Structure 1
C-alpha cells in the first residue's frame, strides 16, 4: 500500500510571502503618513527601504503598526468571519483589509463586496466551505481568481467575468470548498436594482 499524500497546511498569513502589490500598498501608506506629519523624512526613508526589501506580510505590518489612528482601517490586518450555527453576512459599507478569512461552519458566510471601500490592488480571501459553504459577491468590473481553492466535496463555482476594469482590485481566493462549497459571483439582477436605488438616494442626499 502507498501512503496517502498529505496536502501541506498553508502557512499563517503573516508568514506568507508578500507580493509587489502588498509592498506598493505599504509604500503608499508610509508616504501618506509622512505627508500627514506622522513620519519625518529620515523615518520615511528608513521605512521605505525596509518595505521594498520585505519578504513577508509580518515584515510589512511592522512598518505601519504605529500609523493607524482610532477608527482608521489598517489594510494589513486580517478580518476573520466565522459562520458558526446562525451564519454571518458582511455587507454594506465596510473597509476591506488585505486578508479575509471565512469559516462557513454550520450557518455559512456571505461576503459582499458590492458596497465595500477598497483601496488595495489585491485582496486575499481564504475560504473554508465546511458544512454550509461560502458565497463571495464582487461588483461588476472586479475580477476574482479561484485557481488556488481546493474544491473539496462541495466544489467551487466561479460565475464572475474575466473583464477587470482599471483601478479595481483582484479578489484572490485560497482555501477549501469543504462540504458546502464556494460560490463567487457578481450581483444578481434584483441585487443590482437595489444597489442602483441606494446610489440614486445617496446622490440626491449629496445634492440637497
Structure 2
C-alpha cells in the first residue's frame, strides 16, 4: 500500500495491519489536523486508536470522513520580474524546481510539516538568485550543485534529526547565486511576530 493511502476496501476487515499502514493513517490524521479538519482532542483520540489498531476494521473508520489525499504535484516556482516566495504552511512535494528570474525566489520550509524522507530541489539562481531556508535538524546534500557565476553557499549543519527529510539540491548558481541555510535571527524574529498576532 502506497504512502498516504487509506486501507483499500478489498482488504478483509479482519486482516491484520502493518506498522507502515498504521503510520500512513497517523500521517493522514496529522495532515488533517494541520488543515483544520480535526481539532486537537479529536486528533489525540484518533491517533491513539490508529497506533493501537490491529485490523483494517480498526483503521478504516479513523479516516473515513476525511478526503482522499493524493501525492503532491511537483512544484515549479519562477521569480520573474517581481520575485516569488513560498513561506508559511504549505504542502511540500517530493520535487521542486526553482528559477530565480530577475526578481529572486525565497523558498522557506521552516513552518511546513513534512514527513517525506527526501526532497529533490533543482535551483537555478539566474539573475535574481534563490534563497532556501530549511529548519534546524534538516540536512542538505549539495554535492551536485554548480557554482555558476553568482556562486553557491551552503550554510547548513550536518546534524539531522530523526524523521526529517534530506534536501538533495542540484542546479546552478547563475549570476544571482543560490544560498541554502537554516533560519537566521531575522527569520526567527519575523516568525515570533506572526505568532503573536
* Shorter-chain TM-score tier: 0.5 to 0.7
Taking structure 2 as the reference length, the TM-score comes to 0.66
Mapping 1:1-208, distance limit 5 Å: 27-29=2-4, 32-33=5-6, 35=7, 37=8, 40-41=10-11, 72=69, 74-75=71-72, 77-196=73-192, 198=194
Aligned Cα root-mean-square deviation (Å): 2.4
Q: Deviations over 1:119-169 (max 9, x none)?
A: 201000110111111000001111111111111111110001110111111
- What CA distance in whole angstroms lies between the structure 2 residues aligned with 1:192 and 1:106? 27
Q: Which runs of 5 or more residues in structure 2 are unaligned?
A: 13-65
8 Å contact from structure 1 (residues 73, 97) kept in 2: no
Task: Give distance in 1, aligned partners of 2:115 and 2:78.
Answer: 24
Find the aligned partners of 1:114 and 1:178 in 2 and give their Cα distance.
25
Separation in structure 1 between the aligned mates of residue 67 and residue 80 of structure 2, nearest angstrom: 29
Aligned residues: 144
Runs of 4+ in 1 over 4 A off after TM superposition: 69-73, 196-199
Structure 1 residue 197: Cα displacement: 5.3
Name the SS of the counterpart of 1:27 in structure 2. coil
